[in-house]
Amino acid sequence: MNRKILIVDDEPNIVMTLEYTFKKNNFDVYIARDGGEAIEIVKSVKPDVVLLDIMMPNVDGYQTLEFIKSNNELRNIKVVFLTAKNKASDIDKGLKLGADKYLLKPFSIKKIVTEINELLN
């Protein structure tokens, strides 16, 4: 059975690159363009990991993470921020809210795959 990943980002080129890569690495891939969409998918699919941007329209990544980690059924889902927000205060906030990892854009696709695989093993 394939592992499930939810990619949450509002930048189509990033989504396309990540979707292609994770499908190639035998993941079932789900896509959301903002946090609101992500929350609905998380509730129905219960992915193994959520790869989550912070800066998005409507519901941002911080709010999405808070929802996941405050829900008893969902709190064990791994959440990895993938964001351009690189200040120490942003990183601290993300990790304090419960993110399992905090990765920065621009990114190495190989590093992301490695980090996700390590997190799930």
pLDDT, tens digit, 9 for 90 and up, residues 33-43? 999 999 999 99
Amino acid occupying residue 88: A
pTM for this entry: 0.96
pLDDT, tens digit, 9 for 90 and up, residues 12-26? 999 999 999 999 999
Alpha helix segments (H runs only) across 1-121: 12-24, 35-45, 61-70, 88-96, 109-120
From the CA atom positions of the chain, what is the Rg in Å?
13
pLDDT at 116: 97
The domain segmentation of the chain, as residue ranges, is: 13-120
pLDDT, tens digit, 9 for 90 and up, residues 76-120? 999 999 999 999 999 999 999 999 999 999 999 999 999 999 999
pLDDT at 1: 79
Measured N-to-C along each axis, helices 12-24 and 109-120 cross at an angle, to the nearest 10 degrees, of: 60
CATH number for the domain whose boundaries are 13-120: 3.40.50.2300
